[in-house]
Structure 1
Amino acid sequence: MNTTTLAANAALNAQLPFWRKLGWADYGFALFVIALSVAAFQRFGSFMDGYEQAILVGTAIGTIALGWFWKALRVLVPVSIVLSLGAVSLYGDDLGRAQTAFWLKYALASQSAAMWMCVLFFLATAMYWVGLLRRSNTAELIASGLTWAACGAACVWFFVRWYESYLIGPDVGHIPVSNLYEVFILFCLITALMYLYYEGRFATRRMGAFVLLIITAAVGFILWYTLDRGAHEIQPLIPALQSWWMKIHVPANFVGYGAFALAAMLGIAQLLVSRGWLADYLPSHDTLGEVMYRAIAVGFLFFTIATILGAMWAADAWGGYWSWDPKETWALIVWLNYAAWLHVRLVKGWRGDVLAWWAVIGLFVTTFAFLGVNMFLSGLHSYGSL
């Protein structure tokens, strides 16, 4: 088949209605997600209020849409869920089996899955650097596979830890996005998945060496926080977090944080390329800038949604949408920072190193808004600590 025929077929396919572009694999994935959602409702529906049931429906629809948009998720999601269901069946109603059942103790219990995630991300980072410096496609392919495996382990951790919390007690059970240990794992998962999408979209694995560095830093924090502080232990939610708003506000926030972190690491890579360092190894200066822009655009969208959701949560919990609490003030600073970044790129046409530096500095601003405010400033959000 010649190039002209291929181009004609592509143009014809682009004109087809959306539903005509879907294949049996797409419909099979949708049926799989729907069946799991129904099963989850049948088993856990008694614990859900109306809002949580709506979240379940929205999550199912969103997962199907993402799977249709990004085909790789049609493998990650089913494999992660099957492994998670295997862990649930091994547990039964006895949390103590985490120490006696072989597969739970060494692979599928939440803490085991978290440790596998950490190991796999460390290995992936090393292999990305080997692939970059030696221009080895094989090493890069292995690194990409390890990153996918780490994401799978993080997904298993998420679902199994959620189930484990309910085994402790119905009043303890909660979605695992409530403390620094849990949200750092969420950060690793979201940042890695975003990177893997851009890796496939731009057909280059050369960005992974830099992006995985920020994930590895988060993994280092997770290990320290686990081994030194025992932060992996499941604790009941404090009253301030006993709200269904947490289930949507926190994940939306961390899509933003993950995107901003990814953009900052690409900004560092772009600055190196502009100075001739690793220029023969990394993607082009323009490619790095384009991926950085797309990441910030996605992050800004989700951070905006998270900020609005946070204001609605504040109104529900404290009676007002905005109180100039330090966390709220710094969230506004982060929002204005990236709004200005997008403005000068889209409206003023800025490109190059100035935006790369801005993205790198923006990561420090975002980090302080996430960690520094809770650690050093007092306010309504001062319930996180190291």
Structure 2
Amino acid sequence: MELSQAQTYSQAPGYFRRLGPLDWLFGAMLLGGAVFALNRYGAFMDYYEKAILLLAAPTFAALGWHWKPVRWLMPVVALLALWAVSLYGGDLDMANKKFFLKYMLSSQSAILWMSTMFVFSTVFYWIGLAGRSNFGSAVGSKLCWAAVVLGFTGMMVRWYESYLIGADVGHIPVSNLYEVFILFSMITAMFYLYYEQRYATRQLGPFVMLVITAAVGFLMWYTMSRDAADIQPLLPALQSWWMKIHVPANFIGYGTFSLAAMVGSAYLLKSHGYLQNRLPSLEVLDDVMYKAISVGFAFFTVATILGALWAAEAWGGYWSWDPKETWALIVWLNYAAWLHMRLMSGLRGRVAAWWALIGLVVTSFAFLGVNMFLSGLHSYGKL
């Protein structure tokens, strides 16, 4: 089936000829929303924000055209977030007074539900793998999608809640460990779900969901022990539009590197004779690992360049050998070497898988260990 579709696409005279009415409707809705926002709120935006708004419509339209689930994911998240906004009515105290806000749609409630869905998703994926049950894996996949919907809803609502606290407090929710752990979980899950559909297999879910569940576990501990869910004003150095693009690009790298590591662990198990008939072929595992690292490396490179530009603006220099910068460079060099060996020397097999798995240790230290054990200019998320 996939082969026949590919042949049909290759014979089509143009990309746009492959788009159906729902694709065009999705694109039109995004464009209409961008134009409405520009007309209504343009006076409060600078040129950067207007450019981002206008570029978002074709970018997300292309994403939805390439990966069809985005066409329903974005409207559902938008409707749930707008419902929450309407329930608030401009009063943050409604979070404890309105039933649906208190138990489902406030940012903290939605994130708790997201965390729960991810944990149950992991359980069902493992049930599906252990019992060779398509039902268990299918439930795991649906729970993962539910977690993604609730997670993005929670982030959108948290963004709005920050402005209810005060116009000078409001900011995009990617500024501290609590928020970026949510972002990490969402990005990793989204990339996994894409590969799940692309390769028509749910057998990688048990492995990838483990790293997401670990992130959720840390998130819950951090929330309870540090009151981390409270929205705090941004530190002066973070009050920059660079944060809105540097941090998400960085965590696309972290998320895909983590995904590649977990796929690498599945590769090692199968290559040593374990779960032979329950995992995809070694060729598929190797291809997913390679593509995940390639995507992550591209975004991590962009994030590093953006971080240097931000540093020049905030601290007067592009590079200061701050611990976070140093470890970001180590991560970059690690995956640059992996890709170089792959392309130049044909790196494959167990060596590539072990390298990807060890890369998770390096990435984890750069992501979290620096905040725990080292100090420096990037000390915004200390434990």
Q: Give the counterpart letter for 2:243 in structure 1.
A: M
Q: Is the 8 A contact 1:181 1:231 kept in 2?
A: yes
* CA gap 1:9/1:214 in 2 versus in 1, 3 angstroms: closer
In structure 2, the residue matched to 1:152 is: 149
1:1-386 matches, cutoff 5 A: 7=4, 10-11=7-8, 14-42=11-39, 44-386=41-383
Alignment gaps of 5+ in structure 2: none
Q: Give the counterpart letter for 1:355 in structure 2.
A: A
Distance 1:319 1:52 in 2: 24
Distance 2:381 2:187 in 1: 21
Distance 1:23 1:8 in 2: 15
TM-superposed CA distance for 1:40, in Å, is 3.5
Q: Is the 8 A contact 1:274 1:353 kept in 2?
A: yes
TM-superposed CA distance for 1:382, in Å, is 2.0
Q: Is the 8 A contact 2:176 2:380 kept in 1?
A: no
Q: Give the counterpart letter for 1:163 in structure 2.
A: Y
Distance 2:165 2:348 in 1: 53
Q: Secondary structure at the match of 2:321?
A: coil
Distance 1:275 1:119 in 2: 33
Question: Cα deviation per residue 1:65-115 (whole Å; 9 max; x = unaligned)?
Answer: 111110111111111111111111111111111111111111111111001
Alignment gaps of 5+ in structure 1: none
Q: Secondary structure at the match of 1:55?
A: helix
Q: Give the counterpart letter for 2:331 in structure 1.
A: V
* CA gap 1:99/1:41 in 2 versus in 1, 3 angstroms: farther
Identity %: 63
Greater CA deviation, 196-205 or 18-27?
Answer: 18-27
Distance 1:120 1:37 in 2: 31
Q: Give the counterpart letter for 1:243 in structure 2.
A: S
Q: Give the counterpart letter for 1:375 in structure 2.
A: M
Greater CA deviation, 27-36 or 241-250?
Answer: 27-36
Alignment TM-score, normalising by the size of structure 2: 0.96
Question: Cα deviation per residue 1:33-56 (whole Å; 9 max; x = unaligned)?
Answer: 223323444554444322122222
Q: Give the counterpart letter for 1:111 in structure 2.
A: Q
RMSD: 1.6
Question: Cα deviation per residue 1:100-149 (whole Å; 9 max; x = unaligned)?
Answer: 11111111111110011001001100000011111111111111111111
Alignment TM-score, normalising by the size of structure 1: 0.95
Question: Cα deviation per residue 1:184-231 (whole Å; 9 max; x = unaligned)?
Answer: 000010000000000000000000000000000000011111122110
TM-superposed CA distance for 1:380, in Å, is 1.4
TM-superposed CA distance for 1:12, in Å, is 6.5
Distance 2:130 2:93 in 1: 46
